[in-house]
Amino acid sequence: MPKQYSSHGSGEFELEQFKSVGQNVVFEAGVLVFHPETIELGDNIYVGHNTILKGYFKNSLVIGDNTWIGQNCFFHSAGGIRIGCNVGIGPHVKILTSSHAEQGVDVPILFSELEFSPVSIGDDCDIGIGSIILPGVSIGNGVQIGAGSVVTKNIPDHAVAFGVPAKVVRYRK
């Protein structure tokens, strides 16, 4: 039986609604935030125009100090997202932490149960424009992800990875 749809709200927010907010946090015009009570922001964070930070009623979205997030990003933290310090995230990056379970052909995919898997991005990373990070991925410290990559598996510390799916091509020295 189809689920009844309901609004997730307008995405408008006040800083007091967040679980925590550090110093010098900048939200550009058009940023939408859902479930800010599950979001923790460190110091010196920039969130670009039209980005969506989609918290969820459970789990959390944690963004470390000195992080820059480009415009038009989409972070869906139903399964939990942890972003380290000194991280650059290019425009149009998507981070997903949930997917629909495989329940057989008798259950429409849209109505199947959700499965949740956290995403972790270490310190000192750079995530290239238009990249997509899929549920359950852990990206180590000092990693560079090339533009347009689809990250489907864990990436070790100091790796440079790109492609669809993203593959490690070398290590930073």
Domain with 134 in it: what CATH number?
A: 2.160.10.10
| Residue 139: how many other CB atoms lie within 10 Å | 26
Left if phi > 0, otherwise alpha if psi is -120 to 50, otherwise beta: which for 106? alpha
User: Please, which residues bridge with residue 81 across strands?
Assistant: 61, 119
Q: Give the pLDDT band of residue 5 (cuts 50, 70, 90).
A: confident
Q: Give the pLDDT band of residue 4 (cuts 50, 70, 90).
A: confident
Residue 3 belongs to some domain of the structure: no
Task: State both tokens at 41.
Answer: 């922001």
Give the count of domains, the chain.
1
pLDDT of residue 3: 73
Q: Is the pLDDT of residue 155 over 70?
A: yes
Q: Give the pLDDT band of residue 90 (cuts 50, 70, 90).
A: very high
Residue 5 belongs to some domain of the structure: no
Residue 78 belongs to some domain of the structure: yes
Residue 6 belongs to some domain of the structure: no
Residue 13 belongs to some domain of the structure: no
The boundaries of the domain holding residue 26 are 18-101+111-171
pLDDT in tens, 12-38: 999 999 999 999 999 999 999 999 999
Is 100 catalytic? The answer is yes
The dihedral over CA atoms of 66, 43, 34, 14, expressed in degrees to the nearest 10, equals: -140
Single pTM value for the model: 0.96
User: Please, which residues bridge with residue 34 across strands?
Assistant: 54
From the candidates 8, 35, 76, 100, give the one annotated as an active-site residue: 100
Residue 144 belongs to some domain of the structure: yes
Residue 7 belongs to some domain of the structure: no
pLDDT of residue 1: 58
